[in-house]
């Protein structure tokens, strides 16, 4: 995924990769992660979370380790993501 995310000389500069970066990839950084339960917490705008978890969503969620760039098995965003709290209304 690192090569896809980078648009510099080390990354993928193809039109397909540029389109994926615009429309098909969201990256969240989380410092709260429990590997055994495959749980992570992060802050995100409500409108983005609603689009990811809507009933018509086909988004998948993966947890990637930043030290090894290995990913976990994915879960469907609409069934595997929960709203815990809202920063502000």
Tens digits of residue pLDDT in 15-70: 888 888 787 777 777 778 787 887 888 888 888 888 888 888 888 888 877 777 78
63 Cβ contact partners less than 8 Å away, ≥ 6 residues apart: 30, 33, 38, 40, 71, 72
Q: How far apart are CA 22 and CA 42, in angstroms?
A: 21
Q: How far apart are CA 43 and CA 29, in angstroms?
A: 9
Q: How far apart are CA 36 and CA 49, in angstroms?
A: 24
Reply yes or no on whether the pLDDT at 89 is more than 70: no
Please give the pLDDT value at position 88.
67
């Amino acid at each position: 995924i690192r090569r896809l995310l980078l648009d510099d000389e080390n990354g993928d500069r193809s039109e397909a990769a540029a389109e994926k970066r615009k429309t098909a990839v969201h990256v969240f950084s989380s410092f709260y992660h429990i590997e055994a339960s495959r749980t992570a917490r992060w802050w995100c705008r409500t409108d983005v979370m609603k689009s990811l978890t809507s009933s018509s969503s086909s988004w998948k969620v993966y947890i990637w380790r930043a030290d090894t760039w290995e990913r976990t098995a994915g879960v469907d965003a609409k069934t595997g993501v929960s709203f815990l709290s809202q920063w502000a209304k």
